Amino acid sequence: MAVRIEKIVSDALGFCHDGQRALFIEGALPGELVEYAVREEKNGYAMADCTAVIEPSPLRTEPRCPYYGICGGCSFQIVSEKDSAMLKEEIVKDNLRRIAGLNELPPFDPPVYGSFSGYRHRVRFHVDLRKKEWGFLGRRSSSIVHVESCPMLSPRLSSCISDGRKLIEEGRAAMFRGEIDRNTGIAEVRAFDGDDEVTFSDRSVRITVSGVPYYVSSDVFFQSNPSLLPSLFDFIRENVTGETVMDLYSGVGTFSALFEGSGRRVYAVEKDRRCLTLSKKNAPSALSFTSDALSWGKRSGRHVDTVIVDPPRTGLGRETASLIASWKAERIIYVSCNSVTLSRDIPYMTGYHIMKAMVLDFYPGSGHEESVFLLERD
């Protein structure tokens, strides 16, 4: 049966209706007439795959990776980088209307995007020690797809695939650490590519972004696409106000480090001790605290001029968002990797309005979107 795609929604899924049932179709673009196969029935809706495109969108392009649809790493290689960023901005705006209930949207800076090729500096390889295979997990599968190269990886990371000896070695190390699925024999090998070398462990390497040196290991989070970070850094630098900055979910001090030498008082709050150890190296003048944001805020809430939050995909939640709003900071800068939870959190921040926003397509080829919002006190 053929259906017409109404719009694109979170995870870059095509959305439409089939009678009374809502359909979320992977691999379909707005306006397209497509055929589909349901893979999962839910209460009132279904998840499906696009099986044929009868009337393609003018935005549709051919996937550039020969493993697309087989490897589980990418799900949205069907548009250009520019169109990917544009469509993800539409996803964010749609969530603001539907979930946050905004009748009038804030102004958006032009979406930021870059090349699909060679952008990833952080990756998780998979190694099957029993079969001596390495690569990535297949699409919705626990089996390994061996790839000769990956166009989205940095050259050094991609070379690890063609010569798998290092991955086998690191897989064995993971086995000795007990970090292996004993049913499948598959180990997860994390890697991060810095300025000059790759790390596969808690050994840190340096990566320089906008002249700021960061020390990062493979077992902590740092943005996979450093080429777009300068745009995010500029947004934050330009919109921070006052002398006191609170950096919640501060990670390895990614944002705290931007204010080194500025004379500002920065509080960096992060519950992962591994991240905070690196944060103290990356942003030594910040006052660092090991705690989750909510507990620390309840215990140590104080006057602050600007709050920066960069929560996980689960967002802040009502209690944390309301607590942050109660501090009455002049500005809140909310960095989000999930506009669904962002849109849920915004109404909890009473007393604030959105001044502007920007979408950054850190992960072209995938359905993930990232955005940053500037909120100002009424």
**pLDDT per position as a tens digit, 96-119:** 999 999 999 999 999 999 999 999
For the stretch 246-297, pLDDT in tens is 999 999 999 999 999 999 999 999 999 999 999 999 999 999 988 888 888 8
Pairing of the two strands 244-248 and 306-309: parallel
Surface-to-core class of residue 81, CB atoms within 10 Å of its CB (0-12 exposed, 13-18 middle, 19+ buried): middle
Instruction: Please state, for a pLDDT cut of 90, what percent of the chain lies above it.
Output: 80
Written as six digits, the tokens of 23 are 């359909």
Give residue 254's region: left, alpha or beta (phi > 0; psi -120 to 50): alpha
Please state, in angstroms and rounded to a whole number, the distance separating the CA atoms of residues 31 and 56.
8
For the stretch 204-257, pLDDT in tens is 999 999 999 999 999 999 999 999 999 999 999 999 999 999 999 999 999 999
Please state, in angstroms and rounded to a whole number, the distance separating the CA atoms of residues 233 and 220.
20
For the stretch 287-344, pLDDT in tens is 998 888 888 888 776 689 999 999 999 999 999 999 999 999 999 999 999 999 999 9
For the stretch 160-197, pLDDT in tens is 888 788 899 998 888 888 778 777 779 999 999 999 99
> Virtual CA dihedral for 319, 320, 321, 323, nearest 10 degrees?
80
Q: Do residues 3 and 36 lie in contact, with contact meaning Cβ atoms separated by under 8 Å?
A: yes
What was the pLDDT predicted at 301? 62
Please state, in angstroms and rounded to a whole number, the distance separating the CA atoms of residues 59 and 5.
14
Written as six digits, the tokens of 350 are 């009473």
Q: Which domains does the chain have, with CATH numbers?
A: 2-60 (2.40.50.140), 90-114+224-377 (3.40.50.150), 122-207 (no CATH)
Give residue 337's region: left, alpha or beta (phi > 0; psi -120 to 50): alpha
Pairing of the two strands 133-137 and 198-199: unpaired
Please state, in angstroms and rounded to a whole number, the distance separating the CA atoms of residues 119 and 370.
15
What was the pLDDT predicted at 120? 96
> Virtual CA dihedral for 55, 58, 59, 65, nearest 10 degrees?
70
CA 33 to chain centre: 30
3-state secondary structure the chain: CEEECCEEEHHHEEEEEECCEEEEEECCCCCCEEEEEEEEECCCEEEEEEEEEEECCCCCCCCCCCCECCECCCCECCCCHHHHHHHHHHHHHHHHHHCCCCCCCCCECCCECCCCCCCECEEEEEEECCCCEEEEEECCCCCEECCCCCCCECHHHHHHHHCCHHHHHHHHHHHHCCCEECCCCEEEEEEEECCCCEECCCCCEEEEECCEEEEECCCCCCCCCCCCHHHHHHHHHHHCCCCEEEEECCCCCCCHHHHCCCCCEEEEEECCHHHHHHHHHHCCCCEEEECCHHHHHHHHCCCCCEEEECCCCCCCCHHHHHHHHHCCCCEEEEEECCHHHHHHHHHHCCCEEEEEEEEECCCCECCCCEEEEEEEEC
